[in-house]
């Protein structure tokens, strides 16, 4: 090795060490969000005020789970603690890309939650509401035995507190691949059983699918609920994606261009309503009050603030029209 080659090698080594020490830039720390639909740039503070909707084309960005919870409970919701003493990784799943335990630890540290769902309870419009919200940034919102056990605990809490309505805001990649058959059996079985437990106790179940709600969670949790709602503009709401689903088309059959969208689901009778994000809460509350026969319970005294009642009067004709 001559002195030039040696010098180049030393410089490369130093450069690698310098770049290795530099922190990676986290996209979530940016003050701006680019719209996937129209490519316009949205200021994050403005997105918060606009309920995470693009100011240019009204595309729905992923709404953070805590923002959804705040929309429902306005900082008055009670967090339901996850179960404890559970083996996070009974299969000891590892690949050349790393272990599941490491991925789980990183997701927990970054998102500051135990698994991909959060459970809260509270009073909304004089209804006892239990709310489950997905976090797609937590390993794609996938469900493993951890989510399954936590979900069962939230359901038990709803039964113990005699809840009126159990609401799920779902955005998930389905069953976690890291837990194999264990996760599949746990999610599919527990999801179906848990939803049926709520029905037996006359607790109304309402599931809302956002874009990218797929797989076993779609089949066992969303479609087992009594009322199925899709967020307006939702896409990739399907058990399997387009690439896999195309393999099951008959000879000469062409896939619907709206496959997996809210538009397709409502046209095929695979959901009850397609609703704008801002209408979700008032519509669900209005339906729950009608079904639970609590529409008159909001009147407490003559000085009652009738703003909520006015919202119900506005939203009911819209709901009836869509039904």
Average pLDDT for 79-106: 94
- The pLDDT value recorded for residue 187 is 92
- The pLDDT value recorded for residue 1 is 53
Which of 48-57, 74-83, 84-93, 302-311 is the least confident region?
302-311
CA distance 318 to 18: 60
Q: Which CATH number fits domain 64-297+306-322: 3.40.605.10, 2.170.130.30, 3.90.226.10, 3.90.1580.10?
A: 3.90.226.10
Average pLDDT for 297-318: 46
Question: Which of 21-25, 155-159, 301-305 has maximum average pLDDT?
Answer: 155-159
CB-based contacts of 190, cutoff 8 Å, min separation 6: 148, 149, 151, 152
pTM, 2 dp:
0.82
CA 97 to chain centre: 26
Tokens of 257: 């261009």
- The pLDDT value recorded for residue 243 is 85
CB-based contacts of 198, cutoff 8 Å, min separation 6: 155, 158, 159, 166, 205
Q: What are 211-259's pLDDT values in tens digits?
A: 999 999 999 999 999 999 999 999 999 999 888 888 888 888 888 899 9
Q: What are 178-198's pLDDT values in tens digits?
A: 988 888 888 998 899 999 999
Q: What are 43-72's pLDDT values in tens digits?
A: 988 898 899 999 899 899 999 999 999 999
CA distance 270 to 264: 8
Q: 125, 299 in Cβ contact below 8 A? A: no
Angle, CA 230 vertex, CA 123 and CA 255 arms, to 5°: 165
Q: 182, 170 in Cβ contact below 8 A? A: no
CA 103 to chain centre: 20
Task: Give the whole-number percent of the chain exceeding pLDDT 90.
Answer: 66
Q: 133, 180 in Cβ contact below 8 A? A: no
Is 24 a residue whose pLDDT tops 70? no
Q: What are 199-211's pLDDT values in tens digits?
A: 999 999 999 999 9
CA distance 63 to 277: 10
Tokens of 121: 């309870």
- The pLDDT value recorded for residue 190 is 86
Domain ranges, ordered by start, for the chain: 26-61, 64-297+306-322
């Amino acid at each position: 090795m001559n002195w030039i080659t040696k010098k180049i090698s030393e410089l490369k080594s130093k450069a690698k060490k310098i770049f290795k020490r530099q922190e990676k830039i986290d996209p979530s720390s940016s003050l701006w969000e680019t719209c996937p639909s129209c490519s316009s740039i949205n200021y994050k503070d403005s997105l918060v005020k606009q309920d995470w909707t693009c100011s240019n084309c009204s595309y729905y960005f992923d709404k953070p789970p805590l923002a959804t919870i705040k929309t429902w409970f306005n900082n008055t919701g009670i967090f339901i603690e996850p179960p404890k003493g559970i083996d996070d990784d009974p299969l000891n799943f590892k690949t050349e890309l790393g272990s599941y335990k490491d991925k789980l630890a990183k997701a927990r540290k970054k998102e500051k939650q135990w698994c991909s769902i959060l459970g809260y309870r509270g009073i909304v419009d004089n209804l006892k509401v239990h709310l489950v919200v997905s976090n797609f940034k937590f390993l794609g919102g996938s469900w493993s035995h951890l989510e399954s056990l936590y979900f069962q605990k939230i359901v038990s809490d709803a039964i113990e507190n005699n809840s009126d309505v159990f609401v799920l805001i779902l955005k998930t990649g389905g069953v976690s691949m890291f837990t194999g058959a264990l996760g599949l059996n746990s999610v599919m079985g527990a999801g179906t059983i848990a939803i049926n437990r709520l029905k037996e106790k006359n607790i109304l179940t309402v599931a809302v699918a956002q874009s990218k709600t797929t797989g076993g969670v779609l089949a066992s949790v969303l479609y087992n609920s009594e009322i199925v709602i899709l967020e307006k503009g939702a896409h990739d709401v399907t058990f399997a994606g387009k690439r896999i689903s195309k393999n099951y088309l008959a000879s000469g059959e062409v896939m619907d261009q709206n496959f997996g969208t809210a538009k397709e689901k409502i046209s095929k009778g695979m959901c009850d309503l397609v609703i704008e994000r801002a209408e979700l809460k008032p519509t669900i509350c209005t339906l729950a009050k009608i079904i639970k026969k609590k529409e008159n319970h909001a009147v407490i005294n003559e000085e009652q603030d009738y703003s909520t009642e006015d919202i119900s009067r506005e939203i009911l004709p819209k709901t009836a029209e869509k039904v």
